[in-house]
Amino acid sequence: MRHVSYIAVIIAAAAAVSADAVTKGPDAFGYVVTDEADYAWEDLSGTGKLVLTNDDDAYASADLNFTFTFYGQEYTKVYWSTNGLMTFGAASTQFTNQDLTDGGATWTYDGPSAAVLWDDWESSMMVGDGTYYYETPDSPGSRRFIVQWNLLRHNDDAAQRSQITFQALLYEGTNALVFQYADVAVGHTGIDNGLSATVGIRDTGGQTSGRNLQWSYNHAAITDGTALKISVIPEPVTMAGLALGIGCLARYVRRRRAL
């Protein structure tokens, strides 16, 4: 069993590192999410494989070409929908976003999921948009898989002002997820900055087991140039190991304050 109470101590101590950074978690598995991640946008619109053009409530899938571990299970394939939702094990085209912490929420696929910016998006070649993906040619052990949702519009946006662009990266080896948001403020007060979207992750049945980590739900919590990193905090094996970890963190905090 993961010692979540120990992890919570580390998270509380980490809050002293930066007054501006926001860290949430851990969930029952040990995942945490932080916005203290480097934003490094990799535009795929000219290099990636074009999929899901002129589509609504549709999905695509691809082999990762490496093994990615998510909530303790290994996957070599990932699915993603026009609606900003990634899933493992099977596809989901559900367009109504849900509260990941709500035990009464409705799911068309109750499986491991990553809500990158889950909302009722659609793509249309009329404005030159679509979604893209590619695998980077990094060395085995340090590869990434990237999905980009490019210039999407919202189904409720009659004026078609919304052209939202964001992406997700899955990392081999560390099994971290990074969500990056290039353009989420487009002058539409009802959807800007994630106001009508869900951002976070959950496991099968995570809404009731506590295996969910929600950054935001129908809240304007995302800005242009934001990067969110989701990863598992290593489980302390012993109290001595925990003390060592906190000591290292304290030294890091002191160095930061001295800068």
pLDDT in tens, 45-58: 888 888 988 889 99
Helix-, strand-, coil-residue percentages of the chain, each rounded to 5:
15, 35, 50
145 shares a domain with 124: yes
Contact 250, 18 (CB under 8 A): no
Contact 163, 174 (CB under 8 A): no
Instruction: Write down the pLDDT at residue 54.
Output: 84
178 shares a domain with 127: yes
- Give the DSSP per-residue string, 116-139: EEES-EE--GGGT-EEEEEE--PP
Count of domains for the chain: 2
Q: Give the range of the structural domain holding residue 251, as residue numbers without chain letter.
A: 1-26+234-259
Global pTM reads 0.83
Instruction: Write down the pLDDT at residue 217.
Output: 98
Instruction: Write down the pLDDT at residue 12.
Output: 53
Instruction: Write down the pLDDT at residue 187.
Output: 78
257 shares a domain with 187: no
Instruction: Write down the pLDDT at residue 159.
Output: 64
Instruction: Write down the pLDDT at residue 6.
Output: 53
219 shares a domain with 106: yes
220 shares a domain with 255: no
Instruction: Write down the pLDDT at residue 160.
Output: 63
**Average pLDDT along the chain, 259 residues, taken 10 residues at a time:** 52 51 95 96 89 90 96 97 97 97 94 97 70 80 92 78 88 97 87 95 96 98 97 68 48 44
Instruction: Write down the pLDDT at residue 157.
Output: 74
The three-class DSSP label of residue 171 is: strand
d(CA 243, CA 255) in angstroms, rounded, equals: 18
d(CA 123, CA 163) in angstroms, rounded, equals: 9
Give the β-pairing of 164-171 and 31-34: unpaired
123 shares a domain with 18: no
249 shares a domain with 134: no
Rounded alpha-carbon distances, angstroms, from residue 75 to 19, 53, 67, 125 = 36, 26, 6, 32
Instruction: Write down the pLDDT at residue 82.
Output: 94
178 shares a domain with 165: yes
12 shares a domain with 127: no
223 shares a domain with 146: yes
250 shares a domain with 183: no
Q: Going edge to edge, which strands form the sheet with 212-217?
A: 59-70, 73-81, 85-87, 113-118, 198-202, 212-217
142 shares a domain with 128: yes
